[in-house]
Amino acid sequence: MILVTGGAGFIGANFILDWLAHSDEPVVNIDKLTYSGNIAKLSAVREDARHIFMQADIGDQERMHAVFHTYRPRAVVHFAAESHVDRSIADPAAFIATNVCGTFSLLEAARRYMASLTGEEKNSFRFLHVSTDEVYGSLDPGDPPFNEASPYAPNSPYAASKAASDHLVRAWHHTYGLPMLATHCTNNYGPYQFPEKLIPLTIANALADKPLPLYGDGHNVRDWLYVGDHCAALRSVLAGGVPGATYHIGGNSEKTNLDVVNLLCDLLDRLTPRADGHSYRRQIAFVADRPGHDRRYAVDAGRIAHELGWKPAESFDTGIRKTVEWCLAHPQWLAPAEAVSAEGTGA
């Protein structure tokens, strides 16, 4: 079986659903169930014997040691993290606790567990660490995308905490021989995303006739990756990645935040028009930029394409339409947006 941390979060839950749709291999799912974790995302596998859920904190090293000892996973897929930049600016301590100290705790539990393995069990064990493009800092408009050799230059407490966790994982590989794999993905979107992020927040606010907040001039650029494509990429890395290697996972879909919001408005205009006949674009509201807002992120995903044969199946146009249609069919997942501030765009 495999051990997944943060499996009740946005990407983690999608990964578990995707995994169980493609494999009969069981999953042990560890999640602390903080504000953005919701086990209801996995209601489709509630009665599935292949999914074992445990509410636990990865920072509890002895609890993690017991999990490894009891279930003896052949791989770890480590999603668990605090991930919202705005929250990291307001409360960086939580990000250090989970992203740095929690990763350290998990690494130590994995190291103790691996020391008990022998033969093929030891040779085949993998620790897949899921990270972000934000650790590299910001690109200028004409710069080439980040590659796996790009230097780290994190600009937010969130990015710095993820960079620290990356360095810990690398050190445990080189010092202790932990067979790690690392991935850096671009901005994900899709079903079950917590509505403090740009895309679900925009949809929720549009339908509620509220302002659609955009930081600064709205021209910050992100590369957008449909979460289903991310899950497929992670399965490929886990199956064929070289221990010690890092792989970039991107959507080949660079868009400004304003482009994204305009496209969402246009889709909603067609799928669920406003009662007054006006476009949802009239609700766009520019707000003061957040501190240290990176201008552009993008990654070169050539390595994973060349070595593992992965490329995104969804374009941004197809992926965003799927996302909007899913949100309209599942409005209950947009409800928490009511508690999110107008500046919580998260992109």
The residues annotated as belonging to the active site are 133-134, 158
Say how many residues make up the chain. 347
Contacts 24+ apart (CB under 8 A), 138-142: 138/294, 138/295, 138/296, 138/297, 139/221, 139/295, 139/296, 139/297, 139/298, 140/295, 140/296, 141/221, 141/295, 141/296
How far, CA to CA in Å, does 161 sit from each of 81, 84, 265?
Answer: 9, 12, 34
Spatial contact of 173 and 243, defined as CB atoms under 8 Å apart? yes
168: amino acid identity, one letter: L
- Between helix 198-207 and helix 257-271 the angle, nearest 10°, is 40
Beta bridge partners of 189: 226
**Distance between CA 156 and CA 291 in Å, rounded?**
8
- Strand 221-226 to 254-256 pairing: antiparallel
